[in-house]
Amino acid sequence: MINIFRGTFSETINIRNLLENINIQVFTENENMANIEPWAISSGGFNPIILKVKAEDFENGILNQENLKFPIGHFTKPDLITESDIQNWMETIEMFPSKLKNTVSYLSIEELNWTYRSEGWKIKQVIHHCADSHMNSFIRFKLALTEDNPTIKPYDEAKWATLIDGDCDDVSASLLIIEGVHARWTMLLKSFDTADLAKKFTHPESQKTYELKEVIGLYAWHCNHHFAHIEQALLYKGKF
């Protein structure tokens, strides 16, 4: 067994979910109770819970680069997008700013510079990227609502992440952008009727046309995808 994390009950629940997404079995040891078994957790003191995984899972699963890059997997469009899907996706988009703020607001500069994988972005770059990406997405929604299948303008997210504002230690402005954009984005999404959900835009690089109902799901996934990157960087504590 390899120790991979030590923390509180709520912290370990988050890490468990992250690892279960990539089919890693997690064992816990409660320092106060001295028990070790798959996810039996008792109450304890400060940071009483240690997470352990099998050595082969650590090497083949946790350190697998594809798993590190896509900790929740790729977005998969449902064959049939239901009203329930759309409501769940909208809720994810609505709650993302507070979820993100609660996780990163008190991180140190050292922690903000931790990366989630080898050659991956730092936590601060992930936050700045979410501000950039979601501003662009919000505008794309408005273009699709007001024009007939417009061709949107792509951008080079990797280069944007190296600009001074995309790599600075102060993430407060990006958190404010995300909060404001998501508030207006959510207001817009909640006003959609069936016709709005079916409106489209075309991405010039892929030459693919997207209906807005699919894009809602894509950006709900995008929120969770990058939040998992932040959790992953915090899990590895500067290992990469």
pLDDT attached to residue 62:
56
Confidence at 8, pLDDT banded by 50, 70, 90 = confident
Contact 87, 213 (CB under 8 A): no
Q: Where is average pLDDT lowest: 28-32, 127-131, 158-162, 169-173?
A: 28-32
In this structure, which amino acid lies at residue 17?
N
pLDDT of residue 40: 43
**CA separation, residue 9 to residues 2, 12, 37, 68 (Å):** 19, 5, 15, 23
Q: What is the pLDDT of residues 91-123, one digit of tens each?
A: 999 999 999 999 999 999 999 999 999 889 999
Give the model's confidence band at 31: pLDDT under 50 very low, under 70 low, under 90 confident, else very high. Answer: low
Q: Taking residues 75-102, what's their average pLDDT?
A: 97
- Express each pLDDT in 209-227 by its tens digit: 999 999 999 999 999 999 9
Segment 76-98 mean pLDDT: 97
